[in-house]
Structure 1
């Protein structure tokens, strides 16, 4: 049996970050992953260009049963810190909307950078190795993988959540957490398209997008919404999906620039114009026509009573959709829920009652908004654990 200072389960964003940091601190580190390639989820992210962080990173952009838990790690390893690493490797990048940073080239550059950081720390990486039994006795963790065994006083669970199972994602992190007596906050799909059942009047609009403000409870996001064959998607809907619960509606302001009374004002100014024509100034014509039909405001404004126009304004400002579900873990970018933060140190990500056991990245009950926040949590939590093992 080979002996190490730390064994990291998972060669994704958090696991590689942790291993590189620990290795460069002089620790002997082994990373084990059942995938044949390291960083598989990194490679497909951001359309293959990896939205690797967000300049607007702040604790209030993360969901958790303990909204303050992420604060420590995020403060000690910031978006600027990761960007400095990217620039040290000469990786060209650009900023898109809302502080999102992407590679100019390919997400492969980020994986290569992380692997190089691991090489600098002489980290051993075992890929294509199924993880078998994991045991803890006499202050050491023993892990069976492939036909081998390894032992270390520190074990880092960085196997992510169950989102995107076709990439090999599993619930292993939760199984291990429960094995060691840690609580798990019920995992559910996040950053995921929502589905509309029954007679969805907008199904014919699949592929049409428009800028909206989408709301679920107190959460509100102004971005694009996309109609799909199954329901709703696009950044605004993906964002609110993390907050949405089964049985709840979401509401959408389809005209975020318009103030109350705008239709009635338009009636006085341009009585011969139709509602669909007015709507098409700020949204695709197909959507404008469908909304006018749904609202029963077809024809010239002059022929429509003010009360009907007022009702149309109100509905357009808070259009109610009742999702019957989501597209599930298969299409979810990340997972809400996970290993309970109540059982972990916010400083080191170490289990409070199980010395040497750390849980990082998506496996933890910390979930960021869309736009690079989840990668920044992976870097920050990985760095924090890498400093501690």
Structure 2
């Protein structure tokens, strides 16, 4: 049996970072990973360059049953803090759009940095650990038993195994099963940042597979209602691209999605064009602003084939309205296999926002994607991993078992 101060389950972004922070504070950490290597999701993120944070990351960029939960951790470990760490390790980076930061080189540099941040004499990383049992003793200590018989025991246990998105990378619902074992509630998990699928009524748009266009996309109802102005990509199954992935976190089955195809157009742009260019066709106007295939598909659906000067203002206004709020009725998503993250998770009502510790189970912590805090596309989920891992490590260092 290995006796240690802290057992961290999961060597992804949150687990690796928390292990390093805890080890630097003098704690002995057993970091256990199910797969054969740490940081596998990090390696495939950002097209292999890791979108490791976002300059604008703040509480408003996260979806949770408690929108205030992330405030404390995000305030105490900011994007600037992680950038300083990246700079300390000499990793070159660049900003793309909307505050997204990527490595100039490879995501491997971030994984190497996180491993280097783990003191060798304090943090023990063990991979290929298939956990068969987790127990809490009468003394409050946690015992983790592997399928091969290896055993670890510590007064603190951190759940950092993420959610079940991208199961081919070893992801599972282990975090939720473990949380329920200890009596913690779980907000229903679902795919997030995921492509949406369309039914037969939108079949025409499947012919646009591979074509992207800048749009304003809307989804959600009530407090979930939101919109994103980015690119939408048509696929053979439905809709994808940054704008769609973003709103997928807010969409629910049975709801519609609204797309504005010309987000920069004035409200009465067709009426004004009718006065200035009466002999122009709608198809031509759309081709001036959108990819040809998208313009043709929209023109076919709208059915205004004559010169716009021969169309009534009522017809043109109807076309303007539809182009400003084209309604799609997704019949689902491409599921956890294609979801970048999982929304939902261990209920924030069960955890301290300051320490990430479970109120009902002293010594039990949960961080990263395992928790019901889901960020937007663009580095926000990594920033939550760093911030929640930092908050947890600080709490562990101050814990009474020391």
TM-score, normalised on structure 1?
0.99
Offset, 1:26 = 0.6
Offset, 1:208 = 0.8
Which runs of structure 2 are paired with 1:34-45 in the superposition (5 Å)?
Answer: 34-45=34-45
Aligned residues: 389
Offset, 1:302 = 2.0
Offset, 1:387 = 1.2
What residue in structure 1 maps to residue 302 of structure 2?
Answer: 295
What residue in structure 1 maps to residue 57 of structure 2?
Answer: 57
What residue in structure 2 maps to residue 179 of structure 1?
Answer: 181
Q: Does 1:148 align with 2:150?
A: yes
What residue in structure 1 maps to residue 163 of structure 2?
Answer: 161
Structure 1: 5+ residue stretches without partners = none
Q: 1:279 aligns with which of 273, 278, 286?
A: 286
Question: 2:307 & 2:283 partners in 1: Cα distance?
Answer: 9
Which runs of structure 2 are paired with 1:261-280 in the superposition (5 Å)?
Answer: 261-280=268-287
Kindly provide the CA deviation profile for residues 87-123 of structure 1, in whole angstroms up to 9, marking residues without a partner as x. 0000000001000000000000000000001135630
SS at match of 1:156: strand
Question: 1:298 & 1:247 partners in 2: Cα distance?
Answer: 33
Higher mean alpha-carbon deviation, 297-306 vs 231-240, is at 297-306
Q: Does 1:207 align with 2:210?
A: yes
Cα contact 1:154–1:357 (8 A) shared by 2 = yes
Cα contact 1:24–1:120 (8 A) shared by 2 = no
CA RMSD of aligned residues (A): 0.9
Kindly provide the CA deviation profile for residues 281-338 of structure 1, in whole angstroms up to 9, marking residues without a partner as x. 2210111111011001123212222211110000000000000000010100001100
SS at match of 2:118: helix
Question: 2:133 & 2:219 partners in 1: Cα distance?
Answer: 41
What residue in structure 2 maps to residue 362 of structure 1?
Answer: 369
Question: 1:119 & 1:11 partners in 2: Cα distance?
Answer: 15
TM-score, normalised on structure 2?
0.96
Structure 2: 5+ residue stretches without partners = 397-402
Kindly provide the CA deviation profile for residues 333-358 of structure 1, in whole angstroms up to 9, marking residues without a partner as x. 00110000000000110000100000
SS at match of 1:279: helix
Question: 2:289 & 2:385 partners in 1: Cα distance?
Answer: 38
Question: 2:290 & 2:127 partners in 1: Cα distance?
Answer: 48
What residue in structure 1 maps to residue 226 of structure 2?
Answer: 219
